[in-house]
Structure 1
Amino acid sequence: MHDIRAIRENPEAFDAALARRGDAPMSSEVLKLDEARRAKIAAAENAQAEQNKASKEVGAAKAKGDEAEFERLRALVGQKKEEVAAMRAEANELDAQLTDMLARLPNRPADDVPDGADENDNVEVNRWGDIPTFDFEPKEHYEIAGVAASMDFETAAKISGSRFVLLSGAVARIHRALAQLMVDTHVDENGLTEVNPPVLVKDEAMYGTDKLPKFGEDSYRTEEGMWLVPTSEVPLTYIMADHVVDADYLPRRYTAHTLCFRSEAGSAGRDTAGMLRQHQFEKVEMVSVTHPDNSDAEQKRMLRCAEDILERLGIPYRTVILCTGDMGFGARRTFDIEAWVPGQKTYREISSVSTTGDFQARRMNARFKPKDGGKPQFVHTLNGSGLAVGRCLIAVLENGQQADGSVKLPEVLAPYLGGKTALTADGTLA
């Protein structure tokens, strides 16, 4: 959510920020609605003052025995009471319209975010690992002999439809091992608090984390009006909703391994083969809530937490800063980590680490009390994948594939796999 006072003070800067995202200027529409709302509030306050004055004069007129004045004043009180109620209702309606308008406008990009139209204008900031070479044509994950029998798309389609997968046997265990490695690393070494949150949330939680009202079609809603989370960013961030905490309470750092659900409404026909883009998937999420002065440093910290997981797994990757045209709705700045997938001979996103500034905090009224006193201020919220488990599985299987259809697994997974370090061509661990 945007600060209406900041728009009033510098509408040109607000429009310039929208222009960087390729959006039309909106300050005039926003301020027109804001002025109408403020005028109606002022009129209601004036009418209330007149009502209060008349109410006091009613008693005086009655005491004097002036029946005509008494009746006039009593009628005036009733009239003003109706006017106040009507004006307040109109002011509330205008306020709701203004809130909805602001809620549909994207966050302002940070100054250091590169301008651009789409993913082609993203800027690489880091690259790690050597791209593996093969003496055979590398396959995509679902084509590898040792994987194929344990990655069943046909049965999943029979159960649930397209864009679902049924993992079984060794592949299911490797998938679980990856999630355990991520959570253990974030908790034991990175100082995050593990949370097991609900994956069904209310409208307020989706709204507070900028998923509503604009992107409801991208998520699943139950008949009872609950939402299946698109990522555990939603419940983890909303922990702070409506709280005012001491500055010393910050930062709060959370991680969770959960199921995630996305309808993929805007991606028909994209990445339909394999398990790259699914309606149901698992992620290990990281969420931080910080003092505004520390949010940029916290984003870099979170980015390193995610990159480190890939380095432990020996997966080559590159990190890019997203340009204004490719950045998500609520983000001020986003870094994407893209893992090398030999089957497609390209890098594919495996994590996004974003700072939203106070954009989400304003929507969910999450604040802190400054150490030096003064009014409570909004916290900053950040989120990032640490990592997407299914996509990490793809990268591990494809980078470790062997000519005979087996897969060499990262040594770091051995403690979670009973000491096993390979997936054989017949789909068992060895």
Structure 2
Amino acid sequence: MLDIKKMRMDPDYFKKRLATRGVYPQDVDAIFELDKKRRDLIQQTETLKAKRNEVSKQIAQAKRNKESADDAIADMKQVGQDIKALDDQLNANEEDFHNKMAHLPNMPHEGIPVGKDEAANTELRKVGNIPSFDFEPKAHWDIGEDLGILDFERAAKVSGARFVYYVGLGAQLERAVYNFMLDEHMKEGYTEVLPPYLVNGNAMYGTGQFPKFKQDVYQIEADEHQLTMIPTAEVPLTNYFSNEVIPAEKLPVYVTALTPSFRSEAGSAGKDTRGLIRMHQFNKVEMVKYSKPADSYQELEKMTANAENILKKLGLAYHVITLSTGDMGFSAAETHDIEVWMPQQDIYREISSCSNTEDFQARRAHIQYRDDNGKLQYVHTLNGSGLAVGRTVAAILENYQNEDGSVTVPDVLVPYFHGITKITKDNAVPFNNK
């Protein structure tokens, strides 16, 4: 949520910057008009309430003097009716104002690329060597299906499209990957959390998923109220301190979690219909930080480095890009995406997104701290994938594939893989070999 007080101070600046995020200036003007009307109504109401207090005193005085108070009582009745009418107008105004404010995206940080879409993104760096093969590299879904460790067909039978069974060493590979990630993040000072997988509407609003993106989630009815299956652990992790004041000496706070993520993928028909890239259910290791405002962009760079660390140790080539104003997520002020090399497609694909939301989420979720002067301030919140586990498995299968169809296990995962160094048809799924 943006700060309307700051917006009033320089409306042209806000309109100009929000225009880079696809917000029409007239939509911002409509908010300013509602804000002005709202303040006018409050002033009128307060004036009438002051008058009501004065009339009440007049009635009391008349009664003490045993004088007629009929005129004053009639006056009081009219004032009460006027106050109610203004309150009704104010409530309608507040609802409209709040709804429009809730649909405004975050202000983009100064200096990030301006553009309508991903074409305006800028590359920060390339890391690692792109592998070369003496054979035609296969797609990860073909590798997984040939080995029997990924079963999309049976998952479709049970759940539908965009679901998968990990089987045998496929399941162990997924588990090895996320345990490795969690251990690495804990070395960097993150506290591991196992959060709820179902959250209420307030939590979804706090991180910016609601009200704009309700079509992208799965919801269930529970105990006469609605819960949402988390689209990312960012939601329960960021809301851990909702409606709280964090002691300043505890900042920054680092937390990480492995959770499933559930996404309806509304509007993605025809995109990545095969493989692990775009699923309705997938595991993700998430990183979230709470920071003092002055430190948040340094913390963004650290978080990006934390995600990069995983790819470096796995020996996977990647690049880091800064997203343009038109490609950034709704709540972000600045985002670094990390894209891993996928040999079969011969392109980089997103595997992590690290964002600083500044105080945008903290305002919505009411997360504060006291500064050196004892004044309440909003924290800055950051979030990032560290990494999307299924996409990491896909990258390992493609980058570590061998001509005979086997897959070499990256060295750092061998200790998590019970010493197995290669996935083959002979060891991949034990019940297939009986």
State whether TM-score is above 0.5.
yes
TM-score range, shorter chain: over 0.9
Q: Quick check: 1:420–1:429 contact (8 Å CA) kept in 2?
A: no
**Paired amino acid for 1:387:** L
Alignment partner of 1:207 is 2:205: yes
Shift of 1:266: 1.9
For the Cα contact (< 8 Å) 2:147–2:405, is it kept in 1? no
C-alpha displacement at 1:350, in angstroms?
0.2
Aligned pairs (5 A) from 1:282-361? 282-361=283-362
Partner of 2:115: 116
Give the Å deviation of 1:76. 2.1
Instruction: Give the Cα separation in 1 of the matches to 2:183 and 2:293.
Output: 28
> 1:247 aligned to 2:248?
yes
Instruction: Tell whether the 8 Å contact from 2:20 to 2:116 is kept in structure 1 after alignment.
Output: no
Conserved? CA contact 2:257–2:286, under 8 Å: yes
Q: Secondary structure at the match of 1:8?
A: helix
Aligned residue-pair number: 426
| Contact 1:145–1:427 (8 Å) recurs in 2 | no
One-letter amino acid matched to 2:267: G
Name the structure 1 match of 2:139.
Answer: 140
Name the stretch that deviates more: 70-79 or 292-301.
70-79
> Quick one: distance in 2 between partners of 1:47 and 1:147?
78
- Partner Cα separation in structure 2 for residue 404 and residue 425 of structure 1: 10
CA deviation map 1:98-132 (0-9, x unaligned): 11101101111111211122112211101111110
Greater alpha carbon shift after TM alignment, 50-59 vs 26-35: 26-35
One-letter identity of the residue aligned with 1:60: Q
Cross-structure match for 1:182: 181
CA distance in 2, matches of 1:145, 1:303: 29
| Distance in 2, Cα, partners of 1:311 & 1:303 | 12
CA distance in 2, matches of 1:2, 1:92: 20
Q: Which residue in 1 is equivalent to 2:86?
A: 87
Q: Distance in 2 between matches of 1:112 and 1:228?
A: 35
Q: Match for 2:151: what amino acid?
A: D
**Does the aligned pair in 1 maintain the 2:150–2:167 contact within 8 Å?**
yes
CA distance 1:367–1:147, change in 2 (3 Å)? farther
How well do the aligned residues superpose, as a CA RMSD in angstroms? 1.4
**What does residue range 153-232 of structure 1 map to in structure 2 within 5 Å?**
153-187=152-186, 189-224=187-222, 225-232=226-233
CA distance in 2 between partners of 1:220 and 1:356 (Å): 24
Q: Is the 8 A contact 1:141 1:394 kept in 2?
A: yes
Alignment-derived partner of residue 102 in structure 1: 101
1:255-282 deviations in Å (ceiling 9; x for gaps): 0000000000021110001121000000
Is the contact made by 1:145 and 1:406 (CA closer than 8 Å) also made in structure 2? no
What whole-Å deviation, never above 9, does each CA across 1:121-159 have from its counterpart, x for those lacking one?
211101111110100000001112675412111111111
> Which residue identity does 1:192 align to in structure 2?
Y
Alignment gaps of 5+ in structure 1: none
How many angstroms does 1:429 deviate by? 8.6
SS of 2:241's equivalent in the other structure is coil
Partner of 1:127: 126
Aligned-pair distance for 1:6? 1.3
Q: CA deviation at 1:428?
A: 2.4
Secondary structure of 2:82 counterpart: helix
CA apart distance, 1:27? 2.9
1:40-55 correspondence to structure 2 within 5 Å: 40-55=41-56
Q: Distance in 1 between matches of 2:88 and 2:45?
A: 10
The AA in structure 2 aligned to 1:285 is E
The residue aligned with 1:279 is 280
Opposite residue 51 of structure 2, the aligned amino acid is E
Deviating more after overlay: 109-118 vs 253-262: 109-118
Q: Which amino acid aligns with 1:382?
A: L
C-alpha separation in 2, matches of 1:339 and 1:266: 24
Amino acid of the residue matched to residue 393 of structure 1? V
Contact 1:193/1:255 (<8 A) preserved: yes
List gaps (5 residues or longer) in structure 2: none
- Given that 2:167 and 2:429 are in contact with CA atoms closer than 8 Å, whether structure 1 keeps it comes out as no
Q: Secondary structure of 1:32's match?
A: helix
Q: CA deviation at 1:385?
A: 0.1
Secondary structure of the residue aligned to 1:35 is: helix
Q: 1:86 to 1:109 in 2, by over 3 A?
A: same
Contact 1:284 1:388 in 2 (8 A): yes
Determine whether 1:78 maps to 2:60.
no
Separation in structure 1 between the aligned mates of residue 293 and residue 145 of structure 2, nearest angstrom: 49
Residue type at the aligned position of 1:303? T
Tell me by how many angstroms 1:182 deviates: 0.4
| Equivalent in the alignment of 1:256 | 257
| Identity score, percent | 46
Q: Which residue of 1 aligns with 2:383?
A: 383
- Counterpart contact for 1:404–1:425, Cα < 8 Å: no
Contact 1:142 1:148 in 2 (8 A): no
Tell whether the 8 Å contact from 2:218 to 2:262 is kept in structure 1 after alignment. Answer: yes
Give the Cα–Cα distance (whole angstroms) in 2 for the partners of residues 407 and 129 of structure 1: 19
Instruction: Work out whether residues 190 and 255 of structure 2, in 8 Å CA contact, stay in contact via their aligned partners in 1.
Output: yes
* Pair 360,145 (structure 1): closer, same or farther in 2 beyond 3 Å: closer
Supply the distance in 1 between the matched residues of 2:216 and 2:360 (Cα, whole angstroms). Answer: 20
* 8 Å Cα contact 2:149/2:429 also seen in 1: no
Structure 1 position 82, deviation (Å): 2.9
Q: TM-score, normalised by structure 2?
A: 0.96
Could you tell which deviates more after superposition, 327-336 or 242-251?
242-251
**TM norm structure 1:** 0.97
SS in 1 for 2:19: helix
